[in-house]
Amino acid sequence: MDRYDLAVIGGTVVVPYGGTFRADVGIRDGRIVAIEDEIERQRCDDAVDARGKLVFPGGVDGHFHIGIYRPVSEDAESETRSSLVGGVTTVLSYFRTGSHYLNKSGSYRDIYPEVLRATEGHAYTDFGYHIGIMTSGQVAEIDWLVGEMGVASFKYYMFYKGLNLSSSSTAGTAYTMSDVYDLGHLYRFMEAVSDASRKYGGLGRISLSLHCEHAEIIRTFIDEVRAQGLEGLEAYSKARPPFQERLAIAEATLLADVTKCPINLLHLSSAEALAGGKKARRDYPDLDIKLETTLHHLALTYQDRHGIQSGKVNPPIRSQQDVDALWRGVISGDIDEIVSDHACCTLDMKQGGTWEGLPGFGGTSLIYPVLVSEGYHKRGLPLERIAQLASAGPARNFGLYPRKGTIAIGSDADLAIVDPELAAPVTVERSLSAQDHTPFEGFPVKGWVSETIRDGHVVFKDGRAIGPPMGRYLKRPLGAAIAPTAKARA
Ligand SMILES: [Zn+2]
């Protein structure tokens, strides 16, 4: 009779694209090896009692910023620990050369191994990196990054080319540390990603992610709103108005269609941005376009009581109408993935008011809790769809599926056990992050994670992380096949 290292017993299993059913899950050597009506306790070395609870595939937080404002190793440790609180077992983090992060530019042949060394041994979750190609020299490294280093996704920031143009004509170049960073650069970048997609795409999706905000429009509106003396989250939203997201989307998607480059439109924040994404799908029916939004754009508005210091982020927190439009996009199936855009940024870093404070904050500890609370309980979003948005969607989009992103025989034993009735407000302490504030403070949540399992081990329980950070680097694309034994794993 088969024995198991660990079994999850008595729970309701939520399988993306499969449905929700009562089953026990048996785990051996870090893999899921049995999904049965009943696994006897005597056949398992260890067991998790999941009676009354939901068993989700471990979350794949597809938008993260390890090391953006703090040292990479330190940030990896505290912030992937925070991920476990949200049921997240894999994070895909953005990295680029230029200001912040390692605060330097150069060849990724030198810099990327340094980033991996700094992360390895410090992550509680499995991890991978999306890479920002910032210089023309780095465009030539894309084939090497995909083929040798396991980078299946890249990033371009539409608004960097006009950064700080109103105050200094050279500030943008100083920030990106690039030779040229404009739509011409993006065109060459997309061509190279498109080539890599044709060459390596059989093993999983290769894509380019886009932060779609429009440099020139932001510059004009920031000048105007500042001149009016306005401050705060609503003013900040006004200074980066929703239509400029849509304009940036229109430019980027046209170039993607011309170069046949698979793309992800990141963190859509508004009704306008979502409409722009949907229009691009109609205009370019053969183009591979994925749409992403964040927890904070689904949960917070600029009218909430948290202020600009805690809540400043790009693109900004919007209005209640925008929140409602994004939820309609989630429920209709237009949105493919929901992420945190986690960037640990403490209050002292966020000083400087509406215009000078650093943007960004954490949210990875809330992925499943907020989706179960705001999606399932409040809006009737099916549990199976939550598993798609938080796990299977990002896993497929970024070359990890089906080893990650589902509950199936042979998949990695990464699971999030959620107590759907456990209600408590969000607090900083609960997040296990190094961040000393959260714009979600006091946000009511029903549906907290009780245990997180990664690689067949319980790594989060009773509000605490367990064991040393053992997360592994994932060379993507992982390939469509699920390896038969743990020993066969790379
Ligand atoms: Zn981001």
Task: Per-residue pLDDT tens, the chain, 490 aa: give them.
Answer: 789 999 999 999 999 999 999 999 999 999 999 999 999 999 999 999 999 999 999 999 999 999 999 999 999 999 999 999 999 999 999 999 988 888 888 999 999 999 999 999 999 999 999 999 999 999 999 999 999 999 999 999 998 875 544 444 444 567 788 878 899 999 999 999 999 999 999 999 999 999 999 999 999 999 999 999 999 999 999 999 999 999 999 999 999 999 999 999 999 999 999 999 999 999 999 999 999 999 999 999 999 888 999 999 999 999 999 999 999 999 999 999 999 999 999 999 999 999 999 999 999 999 999 999 999 999 999 999 999 999 999 999 999 999 999 999 999 999 999 999 999 999 999 999 999 999 999 999 999 999 999 999 999 999 999 989 999 999 999 975 554 443 333 3
- The pTM assigned to this predicted structure is 0.95
Ligand 1 centroid, distance to 338 Cα (angstroms): 12
Cα 210 to ligand 1 centroid, rounded to whole Å: 10
pLDDT reported for residue 162? 57
- Kindly give the pairing relationship between strand 126-132 and strand 153-157: parallel
| CA proximity to 367, closest of 80, 67, 135, 101 | 80
Q: In the prediction, which pLDDT does 490 show? A: 34
Residue at 53: amino acid letter: K
Give the pLDDT of residue 8: 98
pLDDT of residue 487: 39
Nearest CA to 214 among 170, 270, 298, 130? 270
- Rounded Cα gap, residues 372 and 416, in angstroms: 12
Instruction: Tell me how far the alpha carbon of residue 394 lies from the centroid of ligand 1, in angstroms.
Output: 15
CA 113 to ligand 1 center in whole angstroms? 22
Per-residue model confidence (pLDDT) at position 176: 83
Rounded to the nearest angstrom, the distance between the alpha carbon of 4 and the centre of ligand 1 is 39
Handedness of CA 313, 138, 182, 292 (dihedral sign): negative
- Kindly give the distance from the C-alpha atom of residue 373 to the centroid of ligand 1, in angstroms, as a whole number: 24
Distance 267 CA to ligand 1 centre (A): 8
Residue 341 CA to ligand 1 center (angstroms) comes to 5
Cα 148 to ligand 1 centroid, rounded to whole Å: 25
pLDDT at 431: 98
Taking the centre of ligand 1 as the mean of its atom positions, its distance from the CA of residue 157, in whole angstroms, is 10
Cα radius of gyration rounded to whole Å, the chain: 21
CA–centroid distance, 297 to ligand 1, in Å, is 13
d(CA 459, CA 357): 35
Q: How many angstroms separate the alpha carbon of residue 450 from the centre of ligand 1?
A: 27
Residue 64 alpha carbon to ligand 1 centre in Å: 6
Distance 360 CA to ligand 1 centre (A): 8
- Could you tell me the distance, in angstroms and rounded to a whole number, from the CA of residue 65 to the centre of ligand 1? 6
pLDDT of residue 481: 52
Q: Ligand 1 center to residue 437 CA distance, Å?
A: 18
Q: What is the pLDDT of residue 98?
A: 87
Burial class, 401, CB count within 10 angstroms (exposed 0-12 / middle 13-18 / buried 19+): buried
Residue 250 alpha carbon to ligand 1 centre in Å: 20
232 CB-contact burial (10 Å; exposed 0-12 / middle 13-18 / buried 19+): middle
92, two tokens: 């895909």
- Ligand 1 centroid to Cα of residue 79, in Å, is 14
C-alpha 249 chain-centroid distance: 19
Ligand 1 centroid vs 123 CA: distance in angstroms?
19
Question: Using CB atoms within 10 A of its CB, is residue 264 exposed (0-12), middle (13-18) or buried (19+)?
Answer: buried
Asked if 122 contacts 95 with a C-beta cutoff of 8 angstroms, the reply is no
- Cα of 305 from ligand 1 centre, angstroms: 23
| 391 three-state secondary structure | helix
Q: How far is CA 438 from CA 56, 296, 434, in A?
A: 25, 11, 11
Q: Please state, as a whole number, how many other Cβ atoms lie within 10 Å of the Cβ of residue 284.
A: 17
Q: Measured in angstroms, how far is the CA atom of residue 339 from the centroid of ligand 1?
A: 10
Are 79 and 342 in contact, with CB atoms under 8 Å apart?
yes
DSSP state of 58: P
